[in-house]
């Protein structure tokens, strides 16, 4: 089990490093977009902008708003630029270039969502090897297995795999803090060395991830309870920055390392 834990832990660290590396180059480019694009890409970008302006001048506003990727490509615009134009919400036509002040926010949000997704996957992987290694954790108090599934199981191991998949399916929709709290109790008895303030922060970032994905980054009444008075109002777009992302990365590392260390201690071989 320890070798499997090592693989999961190292994969999580590698995924975090990939996001760091991608973010480093992406933020450098978009810090002063498009001027920081590589020279060859910048030249093509400028050509695409000029072509797009000509298209805009030749059609009505409604026709321009309805234009699709293939139509843009037929007009001579590169596929990459067409995707950039169509998939970014904040673009506007200026006199000489296509620009946006919100590219960095798009990047920050993508990074946070990716980090959170990797963290969710990490806990799913951890739960899987816990269930496979310790069948006492497969208490059925929290799930019900349909009789048909039981009868159709080929053998005992097949039935166990069905139970594991059902439990993982359920835990996949759980808040990570709920999983951590469940681990404290029987039959797990796995207590992570995390402070209440750290768990509260994890809940805050969970809610932040939810408003980015489901509410277009707009603050709602659930998320505002995690903010300081006057920090933001309901309906405002929540602005991310380096400090916020770095705090989240540090928190993820604490959660990942603590879970890895405690499970290794409980199951030493």
Tens of pLDDT along the chain (269 residues)?
Answer: 888 999 999 999 999 999 988 887 777 666 666 677 778 888 888 898 899 899 989 989 888 888 888 999 999 998 888 877 776 533 444 434 444 446 778 889 999 999 999 999 999 999 999 999 998 888 766 566 676 777 777 787 777 787 888 888 877 788 999 999 999 998 899 999 999 999 999 999 999 999 999 998 999 999 999 888 888 899 999 999 889 999 999 999 999 999 999 999 999 87
268: enclosing H helix or E strand: none
C-alpha separations of 256 from 138, 152, 214, 259 in Å: 23, 37, 26, 5
Handedness of CA 125, 127, 128, 133 (dihedral sign): positive
**How far apart, in whole angstroms, are the C-alpha atoms of residue 12 and residue 7?**
9
**How far apart, in whole angstroms, are the C-alpha atoms of residue 248 and residue 176?**
14
Virtual torsion, Cα 269, 133, 119, 223, nearest 10 deg? -120
CA-based radius of gyration for the chain: 24
pTM: 0.74
């Amino acid at each position: 089990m320890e070798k499997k834990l090592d693989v999961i832990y190292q994969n999580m660290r590698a995924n975090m490093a990939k996001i760091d590396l991608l973010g480093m180059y992406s933020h450098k480019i978009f810090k002063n977009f498009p001027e920081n694009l590589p020279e060859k890409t910048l030249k093509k970008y400028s050509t695409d902008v000029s072509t797009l302006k000509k298209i805009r001048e030749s059609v009505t506003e409604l026709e321009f708003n309805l234009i699709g990727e293939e139509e843009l490509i037929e007009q001579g615009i590169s596929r990459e630029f067409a995707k950039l134009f169509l998939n970014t919400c904040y673009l506007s036509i200026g006199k000489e270039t296509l620009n946006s002040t919100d590219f960095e926010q798009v990047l920050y949000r993508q990074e946070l969502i990716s980090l959170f997704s990797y963290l969710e996957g990490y806990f799913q992987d951890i739960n899987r090897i816990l269930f496979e290694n310790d069948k006492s954790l497969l208490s059925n108090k929290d799930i019900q297995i349909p009789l048909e599934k039981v009868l159709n199981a080929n053998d005992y191991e097949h039935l166990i795999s069905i139970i594991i998949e059902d439990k993982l399916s359920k835990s996949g929709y759980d808040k990570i803090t709920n999983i951590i709290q469940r681990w404290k109790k029987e039959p797990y008895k796995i207590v992570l060395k995390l402070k209440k303030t750290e768990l509260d922060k994890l809940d805050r970032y969970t809610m932040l991830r939810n408003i980015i994905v489901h509410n277009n980054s707009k603050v709602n009444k659930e998320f505002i309870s995690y903010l300081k008075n006057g920090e933001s109002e309901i309906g405002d777009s929540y602005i991310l920055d380096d400090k916020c992302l770095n705090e989240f990365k540090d928190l993820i590392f604490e959660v990942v390392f603590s879970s890895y260390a405690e499970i290794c201690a409980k199951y030493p071989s």
